[in-house]
A and B are shown apart, each in its own frame.
Chain A
Amino acid sequence: MNLKIKNPAPTDSEDIMGILNNSPDTLRRIYKTHFPMVLQMVLNNNGSEADAKDVYQESIIILYNKVKAGDFELTSKLKTYIYSVCRRIWLKKLNQLNKKECELKDVHDFLPVENDLEQHEMRDLQFSKMEESLLMLGEPCRTIIQDFYIRNRSMQEICEKFGYTNAENAKTQKYKCLQRLKKLFFQP
């Protein structure tokens, strides 16, 4: 007997659970499900494929941050939320490009999401500041910092990798690197 059981489409609350559990399948499914809608919206409003990709990925990041921060209340459909965020981001970009207020041709209904975007912008600022600081930090500091704080390597490994004579020297080096990174990060 060949019995096929069709999985019913996952509900939004299942998706939320998936996000909280860092499920790669959930991420893949959410991404693939809603991309066409956003692509259509951006292409309909003077954007390109690349624009659609940027806008869409930003909205997914916002969604994940919001869900993980625990303040995502499922008052609307996930789809509506993603669309609202995307249209807000794209509208803002259009306004910056054209230096005037633009109208969008909508392909879906939407909600006000200004607050979420503001929070995201602050986070985004920190992110790009960190990116920039790490870039300016240079080698070998960048690798030492990443090895120790992100990849959780032991001081002993780092010591061998970079050829420091003893762990004390490596610690001093790591300290100096972190101080420099902080300086770069916090300078206006």
Chain B
Amino acid sequence: MSEPQLLDWIERYLGHKLSEDEQLEFEVMRLGDPRLNERIKEHQQFMKYLSGWNERVEFEHKLNAIHDEIDVDAVKQTLGFRQNRVIALWRNHHSKISVAASVAIFAVMLTLFFTGYFNNQSQQSKYSALRRELDNVKRSQSALMRDISGKSIRKNNLNPGNFGGTGFAINTNGDIITNFHVINGADSVYVQNSNGESFKVKPIYINEDYDLAVLRITDPSFKHLSPVPYAFKKSKADLGEDVFTIGYPKDSVVIGKGYLSSFTGFENDSLAYQVSIPVNPGNSGGPLLDNYGNIIGIIKGKQTQVDGAAFATKSNYLMKAIQSIPADSIGKKIVLNSKNNMVKLSRAQQIKKLQNYVFMVKVYN
């Protein structure tokens, strides 16, 4: 008997599918042959494993079918698990969520980095030049107010300009010094005095390193100024000295008072003083004066994240710059006033005098 045939016999014997005679014959064979007996037992055992496996698979199918009938979320609600959907989501997918989040953050950072966001951000937040961006609405409102107050000014105020700063006269023929950043990129520049009269000016000298520009009034309606009352201080000012500035952060003149707080400017810039003084956009180019009415600097900017840190270019650099203007480019060399006429005046009187020499610089582009 071949092996497959033997297996067939065993199966038929176990399944009671043999005829009665065969069944008996096989029984006898089994009793007489321990090896056959062993084979039969082994086969029986293996069939048990196989059917056990099958029962288990079928049972699991049944269990899963029943499980699908249960509304697990509803059960959870009755048990008092409410936010568990989120928690389970996190628990099951936290690695994927983390990866996705890090990729997203990385991508945002990369984009910001390459678009130069961080560069601009840090500079802007630390240092701001005090050129004023003029709001057309505001300006038209104030122009309206001036309409009521006086007629003479009206004709000069048609266009409010795009940017504004401050400048001050350095001699009688209408040369005005201001910051270079105030007039940077300008198509045309006008200055306006405290009476509201505007004059066209043209830049005759620019020094980007010192952030300085000298403007000359070219307007035919301009008459000579009376002699400049202040002088430029040649020596270093003193720390803690009371100082004040005068400028146009809005449409009328504003005085700011403070003290000299450091001999160096933004990031230890030795060209500038640090001044603790309230200044705002529009103050750029304004004169910084000491108690006696000496010009000790020109306001140019402030540090935005630090309280009371404004910066002013030192007067000796101002003078240096002015004196370095080549004479042939301006016709006649600029002579700076060296005599101070305001020493004995009170602050209020000083300001009254000064007002006539401090101009609002209006920039159109």
Contact = CB atoms under 8 A, between A and B. Distances in A.
Contacts of A131: 53
B81 interface: yes
Nearest to A145: B50
* 6 tightest Cβ-Cβ pairs between the two chains A and B: A175-B4, A130-B53, A31-B66, A172-B4, A57-B63, A150-B54
A130 B49 CA distance: 8
7 contacts: A27-B62, A32-B69, A39-B75, A61-B59, A130-B52, A150-B54, A185-B46
B79 interface: yes
Contacts of A36: 75, 78-79
Interface stretch (B84-92, B246-254, B267-275): B84-92
A15 to B, nearest CB: 15
Interface residues of B, number: 33
B60 interface: yes
B137 interface: no
Nearest to A170: B4
A150 B4 contact: no
B66 A49 contact: no
Contacts of A171: 4-5, 7-8
Interface string A42-60: 0100001100010001001
A112 B54 CA distance: 30
Given A48-B91, A61-B59, A175 B3 contact: yes
Contact of A127 (B56, B67, B81, B84): B56
B245 to A, nearest CB: 67
B76 interface: yes
Interface of B: 3-5, 7-8, 46-47, 49-54, 56, 59-60, 62-64, 66-67, 69-70, 72, 75-76, 78-79, 81, 84, 88, 91-92
Interface in A146-188: 146, 149-150, 171-172, 174-175, 178, 182, 185
Contact of B79 (A39, A145, A149, A172): A39
A126 interface: yes
Contacts of A61: 56, 59-60, 63
A32 B70 CA distance: 7
Contacts of B72: 39, 49
B84 A175 contact: no
Contacts of A48: 88, 91-92
Contact of A178 (B5, B7, B60, B92): B7
A53 B67 contact: yes
Given A48-B92, A126-B52, A174-B4, 5 more contacts: A39-B75, A57-B67, A61-B60, A127-B56, A130-B49
A32 B51 contact: no
Interface in A38-83: 39-40, 43, 48-49, 53, 57, 60-61, 64
B84 A43 contact: yes
A127 B66 contact: no
B52 A31 contact: no
A105 interface: no
A31 B67 contact: yes
Given A43-B76, A61-B59, A175-B3, A149 B47 contact: yes
A8 interface: no
Given A24-B62, A49-B72, A171-B8, A150 B51 contact: yes
B75 A35 contact: yes
A39 B67 contact: no
Contacts of A127: 52-53, 56
B50 A31 contact: no
B81 to A, nearest CB: 6
A29 to B, nearest CB: 10
A132 B155 CA distance: 98
B168 to A, nearest CB: 75
A27 B88 contact: no
Given A43-B84, A130-B49, A150-B54, A35 B70 contact: yes
B275 to A, nearest CB: 62
A117 B47 CA distance: 24
B111 to A, nearest CB: 36
A170 to B, nearest CB: 10
B62 A130 contact: no
A171 B78 CA distance: 58
B50 to A, nearest CB: 6
